[in-house]
Structure 1
Amino acid sequence: MSPKCNHERLQFDVSPHAVDAGFVRPPLAKRAAATTSSGRVPDRNILTAHTHSESLFPGPLVLPADGLAIDPKEPPQSFRSWATEKLRNPVTRRRKTIYVAPVPEIDKELHSTVGKWTVPFVLQAPMKGGCNPPKAEQIREYLEAFYHPLPVKILPAEVRFVPWSEGKATKPSKQPQYIGLQVGNSVTRITTRRCPDEVYPQQLGLNDILDAAIDVLPDDAYALVMLTDHDLYEDEDDEFCCGRAYGSSRVAVVSSSRYHPLLDEVTGIEREHMWPFSHCEAYVQRMCRDAEPSGSNPKRRKTGLPLGPRATETDSAMAPVIQAGLAAPSPTSSPTALWFSRMARTVAHEVGHCFCLAHCSYYACVMQGTGGIIEDMRQPPYLCLVCLVKLTRAVGDVEKGVDEVQLLIARYTALAKFCETWKRVAMFAAYGAWLGKRIESLKATLASAE
């Protein structure tokens, strides 16, 4: 990989735009307190340990049009808030399996219509052998590592799009207003509409698919995520929606459509500044500068904030992470793998909501909300220090007697093993290096405790 930018300096805190947007990041003491069950600032030793751990956890960037720039007052969710949330569903020994429903097959009567809806208008026909959407088994394997040690299985029921007739024998129209989603013996009506930005021919109603997921949630399921290659929308005002979860209902749906690598140019995605390169200081400066109104006087901007903590790439704990990403092949050499890496991150995020993890504003985190597909590419695949405590405790509820640090090392080891098989993708190569640093740090913590 030979990017034009060499990412010499890294940005570890929010951008100058954060102040203009009205976003105030919780200070270090409050971030540390957010990981405790009491919600209070921990003692000096714990605070020191937390400070050391932060070397691999930069702050959220909060660039123009990012989710936290649009909604800067969104309250953060501490561990204490999560633990006392009444709608949170506990993981139990009977109900601990995460299910993945594969992309629906398409009934032969719908092939000439619904079958074409997964092809963006910039392509004349589906690509053969060059760029294929992620497979359910790949997603299952990633979730199995991400949510280790919980079991992750493919939903055994048949999943298929079928004609919807409203009880009458009708021929499928050129662009049917409704189609059926059959899961096992259950069939749910799915509303369709024309894609407003004309990237795809037609979209499916996301809420209808979530209703179908609720109807077929297995008895032993902790959560069910449904996959689709079709473009989705949630509300009539939406252009599109990549995914959504009904957390308290333990269901989610994620679409691969907008992550298609061949849409990057149309979307404006800068591949050389996808995570981990999104923390490049020069990139952050340029994005803030480009968003300034034409003719504005920089001296009169109310930033009041320098770029904040930053370091050269060579003296940062993130150095091996950046280097591993740079060493990966160019994204153009493996577009199918690139597509999968994007989908995997979003599926992990949506399933996280089923664990009652809210959007995060403490750190750059896989549980951050997003203002659009471009910000999506900038966010990391890992859980931050606050969200990690929540998940570790949730999983620990069925792993009684297991030391949480040991459990965390086992989870990171499973993820690192997965990343090793996908290191041809910059995100997974960098994630693998990041995991290596975290495992090293946690093992040192165990050794010092002994």
Structure 2
Amino acid sequence: MQTVRHSEHTLKTALISKNPELVKQYEQLDPREQRLLNEAFRPGSDLFGPITLHSPSDWIISHPEAPQDFEEFFSDLHRKSPSSGKQTIYIQCIGLLGNTRSISEEYLKWLKGYCEAFFYGLTVKLLEPIPVSATRCSFRVNDSTRNLQIHAGQILTFLKKKKPEDAFCVVGITMIDLYPRDSWNFVFGQASLTEGVGIFSFARYGADFHSSHFKGQVKQLERKSSSDYSVFDDYDLPEATSVLLLRSCKTLTHEIGHIFGLRHCQWLACLMQGSNHLEEADRRPLDLCPICLRKLQSAVGFRLRDRCKALVKWIDAESTDTPRVTPKHSREELVTLPKPVEAFKEWKEWITRCLAVLQK
């Protein structure tokens, strides 16, 4: 195990910059916001800690990248920020996210609410869910897992054509595994930052995906033509657990962060760290380190306290008021579908501690 630890001076420079204009910009922040952000370089901070590497297969070791500090982010002429006419994040669901339509609809609402809190101040809208056939994308059975996969790049092309005029970005989400090209085994997601579109799969976050008993496995792909998408009609979907929801929220906000121009974080433990495998992704925290948080705040313009309160509120809103059908019940029996937030408990406690700093 290895720890990536930077000096107090390095972290302070990465957060505040040596550029007089950016230093002045930082000094104009609310003193309580500065106090929270300064936890980045406070020795022994119990809110933000160094990155811990567990194996040579971890992202930072296997994918060396130049770190991006706040000044580099702010000065990037190619990055995109929401403008007055383009302040909406659109979410396009492809296929179902749950094993009934009602659960899928509820799951989408949970993700929408989470994005509204995470990117506080921006509008998040849901596009009408579509079947795989609507994208006209290629698909295959993975040689290793025997699971169905859809072509990520072709879905990006589809999303570009559907992008609304007021969109900052459009992100497609699906429970079906993705592949970017024939020679690749799989990809968690793919995005075009210049076009403001992305597609992300939560398929590999289900508890049984890698099990030999996974019901979604296909022994042989039989279809009459490349346009026969009937194989997706009975696609098996994972149970909407708290861990699955947490992983979905992580992936969605991490990838949208890239569309904002945030590169992989190499400063502190942070949502924007890269990950090569599920274990590494699970180790990432749910939120941003102060350096990446300042980047996002400068792009969106939210107050840190308002954002923290919105995140806590999302967790506390544990269920909807609308009766829904669960997979264990018949179509006629309606029950309240609670939002599974058990896995968010520790993160809520962390956000609450951040709020305490912001409210002193």
CA 1:37 to 1:221, structure 2 compared with 1: closer, same or farther past 3 Å? farther
Aligned residue number for residue 390 of structure 1: 295
Aligned residue number for residue 280 of structure 1: none
CA 1:63 to 1:132, structure 2 compared with 1: closer, same or farther past 3 Å? farther
Aligned residue number for residue 6 of structure 2: 26
Letter in 2 for 1:146: F
**Pairwise CA distance, 1:263:** 3.4
Inter-partner Cα distance in structure 1 for 2:66 and 2:195: 22
2:126 to 150, 154, 159: 154
Aligned residue number for residue 235 of structure 1: 181
**Pairwise CA distance, 1:82:** 0.7
Asked if the contact 1:25/1:361 (under 8 Å) is kept, the reply is: no
TM-score w.r.t. length of structure 2: 0.75
- Quick check: 1:260 aligned with 2:251? no
Give the root-mean-square deviation of aligned CA atoms: 3.1
**Pairwise CA distance, 1:432:** 0.8
1:293-317 CA distance string (max 9 Å, x none): xxxxxxxxxxxxxxxxxxxxxxxxx
Aligned residue number for residue 139 of structure 2: 192
Inter-partner Cα distance in structure 1 for 2:8 and 2:182: 41
Q: Secondary structure of the equivalent of 2:287?
A: coil
1:139 to 111, 123, 129: 111
CA 1:199 to 1:435, structure 2 compared with 1: closer, same or farther past 3 Å? farther
1:231-265 CA distance string (max 9 Å, x none): 10123343221222222221111112101122376
Inter-partner Cα distance in structure 1 for 2:293 and 2:145: 39
- Which structure has the larger Rg over C-alpha atoms? 1
Alignment of 1:224-373 (within 5 A): 224-263=170-209, 336-373=241-278
Inter-partner Cα distance in structure 1 for 2:41 and 2:86: 36
Inter-partner Cα distance in structure 1 for 2:271 and 2:81: 21
CA 1:376 to 1:158, structure 2 compared with 1: closer, same or farther past 3 Å? closer
1:123-142 CA distance string (max 9 Å, x none): xxx9789x979722221111
Which is further off, 218-227 or 413-422?
413-422
CA 1:158 to 1:442, structure 2 compared with 1: closer, same or farther past 3 Å? closer
CA 1:442 to 1:381, structure 2 compared with 1: closer, same or farther past 3 Å? same
1:77 to 48, 65, 68: 68
Aligned residue number for residue 151 of structure 2: 205
Inter-partner Cα distance in structure 2 for 1:352 and 1:36: 20
Aligned residue number for residue 416 of structure 1: 312
Aligned residue number for residue 321 of structure 2: none
1:18-76 CA distance string (max 9 Å, x none): 5xxxxx54322111211124369989x989764349421122111112111212x3111
Aligned residue number for residue 427 of structure 1: 343
CA 1:39 to 1:234, structure 2 compared with 1: closer, same or farther past 3 Å? farther
Letter in 1 for 2:206: H
Aligned residue number for residue 355 of structure 2: 439
CA 1:424 to 1:343, structure 2 compared with 1: closer, same or farther past 3 Å? closer
Aligned residue number for residue 88 of structure 2: 97
Aligned residue number for residue 51 of structure 1: 41
Q: Secondary structure of the equivalent of 1:249?
A: coil
1:88 to 79, 85, 90: 79
Once the two structures are aligned, what percentage of the paired residues are identical?
27
- Runs of 4+ aligned residues of structure 1 deviating over 4 Å after TM superposition are 39-43, 45-50, 126-129, 131-134
CA 1:103 to 1:233, structure 2 compared with 1: closer, same or farther past 3 Å? same
Asked if the contact 1:242/1:254 (under 8 Å) is kept, the reply is: yes
Asked if the contact 2:39/2:290 (under 8 Å) is kept, the reply is: no
**Pairwise CA distance, 1:336:** 2.2
CA 1:152 to 1:104, structure 2 compared with 1: closer, same or farther past 3 Å? same
Q: Secondary structure of the equivalent of 2:51?
A: coil
Inter-partner Cα distance in structure 2 for 1:372 and 1:134: 28
Inter-partner Cα distance in structure 2 for 1:197 and 1:421: 40
Inter-partner Cα distance in structure 1 for 2:152 and 2:105: 19
Aligned residue number for residue 220 of structure 2: none
Inter-partner Cα distance in structure 2 for 1:371 and 1:79: 25
1:368-410 CA distance string (max 9 Å, x none): 11011221111111011110001001112xxxxxxx6xx1100
Q: Secondary structure of the equivalent of 1:359?
A: coil
Inter-partner Cα distance in structure 2 for 1:410 and 1:48: 18
**Pairwise CA distance, 1:362:** 0.7
Gaps of at least 5 residues in structure 2 are 27-33, 213-238, 319-338
CA 1:159 to 1:430, structure 2 compared with 1: closer, same or farther past 3 Å? same
Gaps of at least 5 residues in structure 1 are 1-14, 19-23, 106-117, 119-125, 163-179, 182-188, 267-333, 397-403, 445-450
CA 1:92 to 1:31, structure 2 compared with 1: closer, same or farther past 3 Å? same
